[in-house]
Amino acid sequence: MNKLLKFIKKIEPKKGTINHTLYDGLFTFLFTPNDTTTPEGVHIRDRIDLKRTMVMVVLALQLCYLFGTYNIGHQHFQALGIHTGFFNGFHLKLAYGLTKLLPLFIWTHVVGLGIEFYFAWKKGHPIEEGFLVSGALIPLIMPPDLPIWMLCLAVAFAVFLGKEAFGGTGMNIWNVALLARAFVFFAYPTTISGDQVWIAGFENILPGAQVEYGWWQTSFFNTLFEWFGWAQFDPSATIIDGFTGATPLALAYEGGWDKVTEIYSSSQMFWGTIPGSIGETSKPLIILGALMLIITKIGSWRIMVSGLFGAIVMSMLFNLWGATPFMNVPWQDQLLMGSFWFAIVYMATDPVTAAGTNFGKLIYGFLIGMIGMIVRIINPAYPEGWMLAILFMNTMAPLMDHYIVESNMKKRLKSA
């Protein structure tokens, strides 16, 4: 390790250059911080820095990445009526998912990190690590066939106006990943809502529509699979009769829970073998990630638990109202649909944009659960509410913390 440190130190570029900015990012990635507080006083010395805190969140997301990649391919072949069993055509589904997810992941980081590196160089400070998590989250909350140019615009908008305009990492008011999704939703709504966007590989999700394969499928992977004698991609395949690309939420709007269960079982919705955003469908894997964040104390359990209670309470109130079929969906079934688990675990717990006080976190999470469920059920134009709920509560979090701190100070002054 000492030899590696000496070698890295030896190749350090001149300070103030873009090369030194890139070098500093690599150096702090390889080695823990050497600057600590003095032994005297009340300061706590710790080897973990912001970069390693962010890496823990990225690691917790890896199960969602693995499942999301495979589910892209699984939904694609479900539409074709080929390899309909979950593990059937494993190599084809995984290969197809990779061809869809990797471009989203790569371009998200090229644009986002490129902007981060530029601002770090111009400001003359080390590379900030905040985009590690945002860059990992953005591909998981997008449809698999989102045009790359649209993704790049969304990432640039989110990083420029949502982060750097406020001063960079730790200064942003709103969650950067959700801003990217919000940009796509409001600027190009047809690419992120409706029944046509969640199944990759087709111009339209209609019976008889022909699959659209590119060079990766027909040349690279087909040649590779031919060597092993495995099944290959069929460019002449078409969508089978009776297939729908509708998500459970869209079906619930049409006819309540009975309409949903005509297409999807509770087991499918729980395990995540349904259409939806890439990383948001598998509830058990998201919960495993939540446990990891709670055990490592990276994510706030107060926000997660209070958000769950808020969603349940609001759903039960709608059950009592019962004015529409969607309102009558039982609360436990509401939790099987949509992106609630992903939103409350990975989006709402962002330490920069969430409430900072313990009591504030409880209120913050509970209101996200309630507001998100209200938007989901009441607003027919947007069949999910967590993005809007979290962005709204991001805005209100500083005000909540202010009044909670003021209240605590007044109580302590009285006792003094």
Given a cut of 80, is residue 33 above it in pLDDT?
no
Q: What's the pLDDT score for residue 389?
A: 96
At 148 the pLDDT is: 97
Torsion of CA 45, 47, 50, 53, to 10 degrees: -120
* Residues 348-392: tens digit of each pLDDT: 999 889 999 999 999 999 999 999 999 999 986 776 889 999 999
Judge whether residue 415 has pLDDT over 60.
yes
Query: Is the confidence at residue 47, as pLDDT, over 60?
Result: no
Taking the C-alpha atoms of residue 142 and residue 285, their distance in angstroms, rounded to an integer, is: 18
Whether the predicted pLDDT of 7 surpasses 70: no
Tell me the per-residue pLDDT of 255-266, one tens digit each, with 9 for 90 and over.
999 999 999 999
Q: 159 near 121, Cβ under 8 Å?
A: no
Q: What is the rounded average pLDDT of the residues 198-217?
A: 94
- Segment 275-279 shows an average pLDDT of 94
* SS3 at position 208: coil
- Cα gap 115→377, rounded to integer Å: 38
pTM (predicted TM-score): 0.89
> Mean of the pLDDT values across residues 103-119?
92
**Running DSSP on this structure, what letter comes out for residue 346?**
I
Q: What is the pLDDT of residue 77?
A: 97
Task: State the average pLDDT over residues 326-344.
Answer: 95
Q: How is residue 251 written in tokens?
A: 């079906």
In whole angstroms, give the CA distance from residue 296 to residue 53: 9
Average confidence score pLDDT of the chain: 88
